[in-house]
């Protein structure tokens, strides 16, 4: 069945019928009235509804990794060279695996309770993780040793961001604070924000020259590296999206959304995206943040992850939907097979897209030339 959703309009329903398999192994599919099958191959089908000017390309996974974790996978990332993946699960484990085939390489043990977030440093040789134990840890991807542990948060760490090449990192916590850390000395360089509400997502981005980030009240530590002209974005549980200067600690804007903000990302030096618990994706311009550039609402399911990708973005939601929007494409790419299980995180390397899901699977999608 095809279901086309338009906010404020009646939902359109249609159906696809397989007439058989062609000699080339590709199904021969027809669509019901009002819908057109534009293109089909073994891994994708492109369907449009001309009357409503709607068009989607549904993409099946190229491969699926089922043996990395036994339980729900809450976070994943791919190294800068594309060779390794790291992921964390509700079974309490965090693992490094071969990105090409899902083969297990290392198990990173040391957090107490669940690991909420994990990501590679730009080098691809080191991993940063944050857990419900309120600890932030740095690991060697080569031998699985924990080289640094940061302590200072009073609640579970929900997200992290790496500043430039990684001499400094930022963490956001359930305790309502965002902190800046010095990796070389495993010390906290300061509480950047204390907002009294859980910080669900953090992002760091280089600011456009036209944006006034303010000046720091005190001389920044010489241990702060790469924080100048950077913005810090905080997705908060109290329905607020907060932006401030990373070095200055001065406010840039505070935007109030429809529900709790779960995630955020920068698209450019002035454009950003943030997703809420009730399914809204806000696109804001930092230079004029009062009115959103647009609000994308596909369903009421929580927006769980947002990732800048080429000249657009990838979003995943709590109803299993995961989709790619690109400026130069007149259709949306839908990543299929998660069914109704939440897709918690998305990572990319070149034309490959990896997702992790509550069903315990990592899916790898292969994009054709966009």
Q: What is the pLDDT of residues 250-279, one digit of tens each?
A: 999 999 999 999 999 999 999 999 999 999
pLDDT in tens, 125-144: 999 999 999 999 999 999 99
Nearest to 232 by CA among 293, 275, 313, 172: 172
Six-digit token string for 26: 């590709």
Mean per-residue pLDDT, 224-244: 97
Nearest to 75 by CA among 101, 100, 96, 61: 96
pLDDT in tens, 327-359: 989 999 999 999 899 999 999 999 999 999 999
7: pLDDT strictly greater than 60: no
Q: Give the global pTM.
A: 0.96
Nearest to 235 by CA among 292, 158, 128: 158
3-17, 47-61, 170-184: least confidently modelled range: 3-17
Distances (CA, A) of 74 to 158, 230, 342: 11, 28, 10
Give the whole-number percent of the chain exceeding pLDDT 90. Answer: 91
User: Tokens 């647009």 belong to which residue?
Assistant: 294
2: pLDDT strictly greater than 90: no
């Amino acid at each position: 069945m095809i279901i086309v959703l338009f906010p404020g309009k009646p939902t359109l329903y249609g159906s696809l019928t397989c007439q058989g398999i062609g000699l080339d192994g590709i199904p021969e599919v027809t669509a019901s009235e009002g819908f057109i099958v534009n293109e089909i191959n073994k891994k994708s089908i492109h369907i449009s509804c001309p009357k409503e000017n709607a068009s989607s390309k549904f993409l099946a996974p190229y491969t699926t990794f089922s043996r990395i974790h036994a339980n729900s996978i809450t976070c994943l990332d791919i190294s800068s060279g594309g060779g390794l993946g790291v992921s964390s699960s509700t079974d309490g484990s965090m693992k490094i695996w071969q990105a090409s085939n899902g083969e297990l390489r290392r198990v990173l043990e040391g957090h107490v309770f669940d690991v909420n977030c994990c990501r590679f440093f730009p080098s691809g040789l080191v991993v940063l993780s944050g857990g419900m134990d309120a600890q932030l840890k740095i690991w060697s991807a080569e031998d699985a040793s924990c080289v640094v542990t940061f302590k200072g948060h009073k609640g579970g760490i929900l997200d992290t961001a790496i500043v430039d090449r990684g001499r400094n990192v930022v963490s956001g916590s359930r305790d309502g604070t965002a902190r800046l850390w010095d990796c070389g000395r495993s010390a906290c360089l300061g509480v950047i924000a204390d907002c009294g509400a859980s910080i669900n997502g953090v992002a760091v981005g280089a600011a456009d020259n036209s944006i006034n980030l303010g000046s720091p009240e005190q001389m920044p530590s010489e241990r702060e590296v790469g924080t100048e002209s950077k913005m810090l974005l905080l997705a908060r549980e109290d329905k607020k999206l907060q932006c401030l200067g990373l070095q200055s600690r001065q406010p840039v804007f505070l935007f109030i959304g429809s529900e709790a903000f779960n995630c955020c990302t920068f698209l450019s030096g002035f454009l950003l995206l943030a997703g809420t618990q009730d399914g809204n994706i806000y696109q804001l311009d930092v230079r004029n943040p009062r009115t959103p550039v647009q609000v994308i609402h596909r369903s009421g399911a929580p927006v769980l992850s947002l990732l800048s990708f080429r000249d657009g973005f990838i979003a995943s939601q709590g109803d299993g939907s995961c989709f790619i929007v690109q400026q130069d494409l007149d259709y949306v790419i839908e990543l299929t097979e998660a069914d109704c299980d939440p897709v918690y995180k998305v990572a990319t390397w070149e034309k490959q897209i990896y997702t992790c899901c509550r069903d315990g699977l990592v899916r790898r999608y292969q994009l054709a030339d966009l």
